[in-house]
Amino acid sequence: MKIFLDTAETGELKSAFATGLIDGVTTNPSLIAKSGRDFKEVVAEICEMTDGPVSAEVASTEAEVMVKEGRILSDIASNVVVKLPLTFEGLSACRELTEDGIDTNVTLCFTAAQAWLAAKAGATYISPFIGRLDDLGMNGMELIEEIRILYDQHGYETQVLAASIRGPVHVKEAALAGADVATIPPKVFSQLIKHPLTDKGLDDFVKDWKGTGQSIL
């Protein structure tokens, strides 16, 4: 499973990219607003930091305008993926941009039926929002499982991009459910590697090694 970072903060991205473990980036209008920066400028900057896909979301809700916005965003860099909402207007724009060879990410997916329509529209990625379903007392991970089965049974190549991830358990379960990608906040990326037994074990090994008085170099 690939890992994308769900952020528009270039500082956070820099340190995460340094690990060599990040395959791409997703942004959304709320993350851009939080960054306080110019949208196109920040997308261009992120695209310079990685060759991986960088999702940038259209602002309009009308298909015709979404297509125009999508083409402008796609011109920023060759690795821009145009993010579109899961509405009939969004899917119509998805179809048109796909026909132009532009990669798309259909976002705000909450049912397998929606995911099926996005695949029919030629979406490169579908973004089911796990955390927001869990917040309503529903089971977000079931949605990933259902989409995986549906896409495999019908031979759709649209990649399942698990979104709205709230913690390491979501990441593990998305991988087990067969998601192609998980887009995760930087905080969750840091949490993925942490375990108190790893920290304690390493402290003990370092201390005991010092006690031997030896050097490998």
Site residues (vs ligand E4P, CB under 6 A): 6, 26, 28, 107, 127, 129, 131-132, 163-164, 183
Minimum CB separation of residue 62 from ligand E4P in Å reads 21
Which residue, among 44, 75, 70, has the nearest Cα to 59 in the 3D structure? 70
Least Å distance, CB 182 to ligand E4P, is 9
Partner residues linked to 49 by β-bridges: none
Q: How far is the CB of 75 from ligand E4P (least distance, A)?
A: 21
**Which C-beta is closer to ligand E4P: that of 30 or that of 198?**
30
Which of residues 64 and 105 has its CB atom nearest to ligand E4P in the complex?
A: 105
Quick one: 26 or 74, whose CB is closer to ligand E4P? 26
Residue closer to ligand E4P by CB (options 131, 178) is 131
Q: Hey, what are 44's tokens?
A: 């261009």
Distance CA 65, CA 61 (A): 8
- Provide the minimum distance between the beta carbon of 161 and ligand E4P in the complex, in angstroms, as a whole number: 7
Q: Annotated active-site positions, please? A: 83
